[in-house]
Homo-oligomer: A and B are copies of this chain.
Amino acid sequence: MKGWNLIPLAQARRIARDCAEKLPRHTEMVDFQQALGRITAENIINPADNPEFDRTTVDGYALIAGDTVPASTDAPVRLEVIGEVRMGHQAVLRVQPGQAVRVPTGGILPAGADSVIMQEYTRRSADGGLLIEQPVAPGQNIIWRGDDTPAGAVVIPAGRRIGIPDIGVLASCGLTRVRVVKRLVATIITTGDEVVAPGMVPEPGQIRDVNSFTLSALAEAAGCETRLADRIPDSCTGLLDTLQRAVAESDLILVSGGSSVGDRDFTTAAITAISDVELLFHGVSLKPGKPTLLARRENTLIFGVPGHTVAAMTVFQEIVEPTLAAWQGMTELPCRIAVRAKLGSPLRPDRERDEIFRVRLETNGNDLTAWPLPAKSGLITVMTRAHGMVYTQAGQPELRVGDEVAVQVLPDRLSGPFRGVLQ
């Protein structure tokens, strides 16, 4: 295409990731209650056995399993109850052969005992003895010290986005402070003579700013602290001024609009005019998303993304997000899950670029039907109507009604090793 030297999406992603991985990554300690969604900066090590004592898992009696071997309903074994363990307290009694100690669920196992029988499988004799009507196996109804996690074990690996279960594990291990990756500071710059604030009534020819808000929300979801720069008209010097200020205080800059090669596309010129800047690529063989560029200036990455909202979001998800994941040292990448569906209307893949179609899914008995949404540049509500995306290769033959396609379901926030398998 005229004026372009497009690179494949995979190459763009690789260049961006390789670059980001080498950039410095700062860390900080945060309280575990503020750690949800943050990324661990190191392996989190369990400081002590968890649990720290042998623990019962049922209400019942702690005893020696060997004592119960001959027990049956007809010939119960009789044990002497020598006392009880109080919840939350040390067990002071020692169980000897022929003895049992009353224990609560979660209580400490008294010394000498090797198992616990549930209360409902016992009864008391007239003289206060404990009658056991079935044998118990050694270890039954006990969690041994360190059974959950021994001291020194990694409870949360480095590079994980901390989820709710991780918060629970931090609490249980007494890890009230945790080292996480410091948030990257992202500045969002929206350009365009026609763009006005959402609160304004647009004059004819004007439209409201969307990208400032979608891109900053995406950047925040990907782990950044974001700042919105003032909207900038299409002018090289105005944009360069804003960029120079943003470079000084940002790790990441996202400029939307003006990154194409038209008369009014000043973004590339402004970005390449920053002193000591290096242009890593300009133009990706992706539809939507062609006018995407990446530059680096010292430890700041600068992405130019398309002005069209759907294209900007697509580029964020396909290129910027994996770059941020690499930068933050994420070892567990979000898994994208795809489902199989039959096309409800034909798809005509672009001849020269890989294309991403947004589709709506409909259930059809036990099948799914995928309806491609209109892809006209500039449409916005297509974003909110889409249930997923269909990826096609450049030059791939037209897909017909009824053809099976893999639909990558949105949002793609699942972790694990499934990638590929579910495609």
Contacts and interface: CB of A to CB of B under 8 A. Distances in A.
Interface of A: 1-2, 32-33, 36, 50-53, 55, 57-59, 85-91, 104-108, 119-120, 143, 147-149, 155-156, 163-176, 192-195, 198-214, 217-218, 221, 234, 260, 262-264, 307, 309, 313, 337, 339, 361-363, 366-368, 376-381, 383-384, 386-387, 409-411, 413-418, 420-422
Given A85-B205, A174-B198, A380-B172, A421 B51 contact: no
B174 A262 contact: no
Contacts of A386: 165
Given A361-B416, A416-B387, A421-B363, A208 B164 contact: no
A411 B264 CA distance: 44
A333 to B, nearest CB: 14
A172 B309 contact: yes
Given A198-B176, A205-B90, A418-B368, A164 B217 contact: yes
Given A59-B262, A164-B218, A384-B156, A207 B363 contact: no
Given A171-B208, A409-B337, A378 B198 contact: no
Contact of A380 (B107, B169, B193, B263): B169
Contact of A337 (B309, B337, B363): B337
A421 B260 CA distance: 42
A106 B194 contact: yes
Contact of A168 (B85, B168, B213, B414): B213
Given A174-B201, A361-B417, 18 more contacts: A36-B217, A52-B204, A87-B194, A88-B195, A89-B203, A165-B214, A165-B384, A167-B214, A168-B211, A168-B213, A169-B384, A171-B209, A172-B208, A174-B199, A176-B198, A337-B339, A337-B409, A413-B413
A260 B58 CA distance: 11
A52 B205 CA distance: 8
A206 B88 contact: yes
Contacts of A105: 260, 262, 307, 377
B87 A362 contact: no
A366 B202 contact: no
A119 B3 CA distance: 12
A88 B381 contact: no
Given A57-B377, A378-B51, A422-B339, A309 B168 contact: yes
Given A148-B379, A210-B168, A379-B143, A194 B107 contact: yes
B59 A263 contact: yes
Which of A105, A206, A207, A209 has the most chain B CB within a 10 Å cutoff? A105
Given A363-B421, A418-B339, A87 B198 contact: no
A116 B52 CA distance: 74
Contacts of A409: 337, 414, 416, 418
A57 B307 CA distance: 11
Nearest to A211: B168
A362 B414 CA distance: 15
Contacts of A200: 174
23 contacts: A2-B120, A32-B213, A55-B378, A86-B193, A89-B203, A91-B205, A105-B260, A106-B194, A106-B207, A106-B307, A108-B204, A143-B379, A148-B378, A165-B383, A166-B384, A167-B213, A169-B380, A174-B201, A174-B202, A175-B198, A176-B198, A339-B418, A361-B416
Contact of A104 (B163, B166, B176, B262): B262
A58 B199 CA distance: 27
A417 B421 CA distance: 22
A418 B376 contact: no
A143 B376 contact: yes
A90 B168 contact: no
A309 B165 CA distance: 9
Nearest to A120: B2
Contact of A214 (B164, B193, B218, B337): B164
